Chain A
Amino acid sequence: MEIQKFTYDNKISRLFLNATIFWGIVAVLVGLLIAIELVFPKLTNGISFLSFGRLRPLHTNAAIFAFVGNAIFTGVYYSIPRLLKTPLYSQLLGKINFWGWQLIIVAAALTIPFGYTVGKEYAELEWPIDIAVTIIWIVFGLNLIMTTLKRRVKHIYVAIWFYIATFVTVAVLHVVNSINIPITFLKSYPVYAGVQDALVQWWYGHNAVAFFLTTPFLGLMYYFVPKAANRPVYSYRLSIIHFWSLIFLYIWAGPHHLLYSALPDWVQALGVVFSVMLIAPSWGGMVNGLLTLRGAWDKVRQDPVLKMFVVAITAYGMATFEGPLLSLKTVNAISHFTDWTIAHVHIGALGWNGMLTFGMIYWLMPRLYKTPLWSIKMANAHFWLATTGMLFFAVPLYFGGITQSLMWKQFTEEGFLKYPNFMETVVQIIPMYALRIFGGVLYVTGIILLIINVIKTAYAGNYVRFEEDEAPALPSKLTPEPGHRGLEARPVMFTIVALIVILIGGIVQFMPMFMIKTNVPTIEAVMPYTPLELHGRDIYVREGCYNCHSQLVRPFRSEVERYGDYSKAGETVYDHPFQFGSKRTGPDLARAGVAGSSVNKPNSWHLTHFEEPQKLIPQSIMPPYPWLLENVLDISTTAKKIRALQYLGHPYPDGFDEIANEDLMKQAAQIAGELRSGGFEIDDNREVIALIAYIQRLGYDISKPADQISVND
């Protein structure tokens, strides 16, 4: 058989490797800053783009798409040509992928802190950037699939299956969840409303974890762990079962983020069942990864790369055991909305993604520069800093999360809430927030050591851009084989089958939710927002209030007692996007407009509270929002917003868009007038007036007298 010579070009991998390190340090520093803000809320006093609500989405996006995203591309562009014995299909597409992705990250950094956001977690980017993401993602996928088509090996190694599933699924998730109606160049509304939007969002959010933070990294694990240990994967059969079961099951599990919510029970139950089943393939994968190191444990003791891989795979095992645990309704009742979730995701991000990435970088550097790593000792120090940093981060938050949740739920013997004041439960866990900062500092220090080590290694060696290899040519016509073997030989068919597998779960859950009316019972008393409230809602989204305040009262005695009536699906039909939130750093606001609720406050209270929360609640950890009292509300977009919502079926009368601003000014004058007569100096046209109007509307509709409400079952 003819032996062909060819070269691998390391350029794209090296570019992505540098970007991974750069964005990695940015992501953790932003994380560190917001962790400090929770202990010192007035740290960035009055600087809007540095407030917690604006920066938290920047941190999550930077960690997921910038740090992990670039790490994925680094490993994928390095491994696919070598696994397929062929140069990359197109260096140009690779470069477009690289620069396009970096531009998207820069665009995210220039929009999210300035309040340009859709308001859905990890999907905050506005529509023009969403389109750019789609295009660049397709460029990546095209390069991936085309490279598999010109390969010189018959079998496509399992790592590449994970890459292909990542490409296909992320494409579907991103497109479906980002269907928005543009209002302006940087403002849009999701087409889905309320509980339906929540279902789509958490189908996306959960599977972003699955197919962006997990499957591509499993691909990297199946390539780099055998390489680093210099032995094949423990069980290749297990890796096949791992792959197919994982991609099949993951896609169904999204509703576990919405337990006890207004989502229909059958969708919640389905989410739980599939989440529990996920333990099997996840742990199969973990065992497969760890057992690959059988007989190499002596090396693990000395080699920082293998050490990091072991901690990464163990963290994967911990996180994937904890995930199904958290999806059990009884556990979720305690964990949801608390710091337990934050601890859980950081075991995944700092342990699984972080450690696998660092291990990969330490493995790649000596190969890209043909020189030993500058300092093994320093890499070992990084290993210990990262491991202890992760534990100092997570353990206090587990403790804090459980403590706070139990305090929320505790009743006195007389049957009253023991801690009716939400602030008491926050004060209790502030020391845990401080310990988390210490964990973050350790982790950041570790990355600084990595940066020094990488730079020194690069200077000590010579960059090897091209590497020669040779392999027998693949016969132009492969004999088709039945079953899985046949599928592996046809990458395009493989991609389609993977697509079908992941679509099944989505379709079975979505179709009934969107088509059967009884799944979202309507409530006649619930009316669309007034134009002023609508602007207020957009400010609520812009400031990222959902990062700390939920709008979902779960049907528990402790929550109904604290906040008011539990949330119904029909209340949310005019909410684009939904604002259920996922964390209660502050109290739930779904009943903020209901007289008698503990979260219902007069307008004057809100005005003072936004200006400086500590004036009213000295221990509050909410940052001040002085700019809301200064900024003039932009009402030039009112008509466009009303028309977009009319298009989506909101029953505003015909021609209302033209007179909406008159309505808006009337309502603003009334609220501001009342405030002025109470001695507060505030103009009608300030943003804070709109935000107060919105907050006073929350839950108001269903608190009207019972004879005005009819539930259409």
Chain B
Amino acid sequence: MRLARSVLENATGNEIFAIIGILIFFSFFVGLIWWVVKLKSSKVKEFSRLPLDDDEEASASTDLDSSQSENKK
């Protein structure tokens, strides 16, 4: 902590922190894109279907027809 304090207290111009921030994000983002592009398409398709695997029905979210007929009664 003491070392960090002495480095920070002697730092000239705080703008360096802003530049460091942007640089960290830029490299992070480039790495991220690289990761994503490398993903196999077949796998990506498989992952994106994960919420749907347990679906018992293929209808719309609310059972429209039956509900509407119910209302008419």
Contacts and interface: CB of A to CB of B under 8 A. Distances in A.
Interface in B41-73: 43-52, 54-55, 58-64, 66-68, 70-71
A366 B63 contact: yes
Interface in A130-170: 153, 155, 157-159
Interface stretch (A513-521, A579-587, A591-599, A655-663): A513-521
Contacts of B45: 232, 236
Contacts of B21: 252, 270, 274, 505, 508-509
B52 A230 contact: yes
Contacts of B59: 230
Contacts of B58: 230
A29 to B, nearest CB: 27
B8 A516 contact: yes
B17 A270 contact: yes
Contacts of A245: 29, 32
B29 A483 contact: no
B34 to A, nearest CB: 9
A469 interface: yes
Given A266-B18, A372-B70, A483 B38 contact: yes
Nearest to B7: A515
- Report which residue of B24, B46, B55, B61 has the largest number of chain A beta carbons within 10 angstroms of its beta carbon: B61
A299 interface: yes
Contact of B47 (A157, A362, A508): A157
A484 interface: yes
Nearest to B28: A248
A83 B35 CA distance: 23
Contacts of B17: 266, 270, 508-509, 512
A153 B48 CA distance: 13
- Report which residue of B17, B18, B62, B70 has the largest number of chain A beta carbons within 10 angstroms of its beta carbon: B62
B9 to A, nearest CB: 6
A82 to B, nearest CB: 5
Contacts, number: 152
A304 interface: yes
A373 B25 CA distance: 46
B14 A512 contact: yes
Contact of A227 (B20, B61, B66, B71): B61
Q: Is the interface of A mostly helix, strand, loop or mixed?
A: helix
Bin chain A's interface residue count.
35 or more
B61 A519 contact: no
Bin chain B's interface residue count.
35 or more
Contacts of B38: 483
- Report which residue of B8, B45, B47, B58 has the largest number of chain A beta carbons within 10 angstroms of its beta carbon: B47
A237 B18 contact: no
Contacts of B14: 264, 266, 512, 516, 519
Interface string A471-493: 00000000000011100000000
A237 B15 contact: no
A223 B63 contact: no
A252 B24 CA distance: 12
- Report which residue of B37, B50, B55 has the largest number of chain A beta carbons within 10 angstroms of its beta carbon: B50
B26 to A, nearest CB: 10
A302 B61 contact: no
A228 B28 CA distance: 34
B11 to A, nearest CB: 7
A303 interface: yes
Given A241-B32, A266-B15, A484 B52 contact: no
Interface string A93-112: 00000000000000000000
A508 B4 CA distance: 12
Contacts of A519: 14
A325 interface: no
Contact of A302 (B4, B47, B64): B64
Interface of B: 4-5, 8-9, 11, 14-15, 17-18, 20-22, 24-25, 28-29, 32-33, 35-39, 43-52, 54-55, 58-64, 66-68, 70-71
28 contacts: A155-B50, A157-B51, A223-B51, A227-B51, A227-B61, A230-B52, A230-B58, A231-B52, A232-B48, A232-B51, A233-B48, A264-B14, A270-B17, A270-B18, A270-B21, A362-B61, A366-B63, A372-B66, A372-B67, A373-B63, A375-B67, A483-B38, A484-B36, A508-B20, A512-B11, A512-B17, A515-B5, A519-B14
Interface of A: 79, 82-83, 85, 153, 155, 157-159, 222-223, 226-233, 236-237, 240-241, 244-245, 248-249, 252, 264, 266, 269-270, 273-274, 277, 299, 302-306, 362-363, 366, 372-377, 379, 469, 483-485, 501, 504-505, 508-509, 511-512, 515-517, 519
